[in-house]
Chain A
Amino acid sequence: MEAKLKFGVKEVVAVGIGSALFVALTQVQIPLGIPNTALQPRAALLAFLSAVFGPVVGAAVGLIGHALGDMFFYGSAWWSWVFPEAIFAIVVGAFANKYGVKEGAFGKKEIILFNVMQVIGNAVAWILAAPILDILIYKEPAQKVFVQGVGAWLGNVLIIAVLGTLLTVGYAKVGAKSSSLMKED
């Protein structure tokens, strides 16, 4: 099986339409009841796309989608939160071959691997990279940005564990193409 690193026509389009979805979902948020915090379904989308298309497409969707979404909805570009999105996608997408989503092989073992990777990826991105960039670039108080980072980590892990997993399982069932033939007993 090819290592999901090439960037052909399919990948160009996947990045384009994936980013459009990511931008459109920027406004879809599930409020938690605490002011200013909400679960972001777009995180589940990014995890799903990284699992299906691999780290390169995932990272590009994260960068383009987050930057465009910030620009269109918030009139700014928060670069310190744009780059971690790519880091997350790379960590989750690195095992795209192992998940076998397109082959319809996304079973129990793959679900566990996917969720372990998303917890690690989110931790590296939001507890490590984003706060450090916030401190280096924006000189914001360390305590504040780490609290924000842990909050974002928890929220994303939760939404991806539920929506991201269901989405990938559902797509593996529906979209399974190459091995949709089953052996009869």
Chain B
Amino acid sequence: MARILTYEEKDTWIHRLSGVTKLVFFLLWTMTSMLSYDTRVLLAMMLGSLVIYKMSKTEWKQVGTVLKFILFFLVINLIAIFLFSPYEGVGIYGTRSDLFHLFGNYWVTKEQLFYELNVMMKYVTIVPAVFMFVVTTNPSEFAASLNRIGISYNIGYSVAIALRYIPDVQDDFSKIRNAQEARGIEMSGKASFSSRIKNTAAIIFPLIFTSMDRIDVVSNAMELRGFGKHKKRTWYMGKKLKRADYVTLAVTVLLSALFLFITFHDGDRFYNPFV
């Protein structure tokens, strides 16, 4: 259970930014790259993402395994798109220029390659932004930022509890698995399908039931301390917005607006180099 992105304390200007700024950046950045299919915009965003990633001094060992995993899925996805719809690009760009014949009804066209390049860029653009957000934002501060952008502090607290208890739940999980394996449960691919379901149940049932107890314990403790009595609460980990935050926020909002304008000004999300 090691392959997970986690926060690491460092001293860069990105780490010093308030969680609110990074949250707004993260949301606007993923939404813009979701909406845009304009190759020029995606290219600019990809370069921007990489620059930010470099500046956050994120190391390979922090994100390497996750990145390999993502690339693997990306390749599968691109192949699946081609197999299911080899002429999707032709439909989008309105022209057809064949490159070479593969088999049966499958021709490789320039339009399809270009479309799939765009799909790839869309995914690749988001990744450094997410990495940056996850590894540079202190989880406790994240909850404070959610509250700051107008989300009820109850939800903010739920998120804080989730982040706080993920490692605990993972610990419980490995303990239960070790115990069950010691009792002879087979978890590898050697077991048959139905016994694999049974064995998974043998691990996750105790895990879920102990967690249900934990919900009672934690909520009783919070109730005793008067959680939820007032409409507002203050945050120990909240950072005040500084000048760097305002500048970053302004740049983020302006860039997103510009990117979306470039994408939509001709009434089409796609940039078409074929006509």
Contacts and interface: CB of A to CB of B under 8 A. Distances in A.
Interface of B: 1, 3-6, 30, 34-35, 37, 63, 66-67, 69-70, 73, 76, 80-81, 83-85, 88, 92, 119, 122-123, 126-127, 130-131, 133-134, 154-155, 157-166, 168-170, 173, 189, 193, 196-197, 200-201, 203-205, 207-209, 211-212, 214-215, 218-219, 222-223, 227-228, 269
Contacts of B126: 75-77
Contacts of A7: 154
A10 to B, nearest CB: 5
A148 to B, nearest CB: 8
Contacts, number: 189
Interface string A118-142: 0000000000000000000111111
A13 B215 contact: yes
Contact of A13 (B5, B73, B218): B218
Please report whether the interface of chain A is mostly helix, strand, loop or mixed according to DSSP: helix
Interface in A5-21: 7-21
B201 A72 contact: no
Give the dominant DSSP class at B's interface. helix
Interface of A: 7-21, 23-25, 27-28, 30-33, 36, 39, 41, 44-45, 48, 60, 64-65, 68, 71-77, 79, 137-144, 147-148, 159, 162-163, 166-167, 170-171, 174-175
Given A12-B157, A24-B173, A163-B200, A71 B35 contact: no
A73 B158 contact: no
Contacts of B92: 139
In the A-B complex, the 8 residue pairs with the closest CB atoms = A16-B161, A141-B85, A144-B84, A19-B162, A15-B158, A20-B165, A13-B219, A24-B169
A65 B211 CA distance: 15
Contacts of B201: 163, 166-167
7 contacts: A30-B193, A64-B159, A72-B6, A72-B134, A77-B130, A144-B80, A163-B201
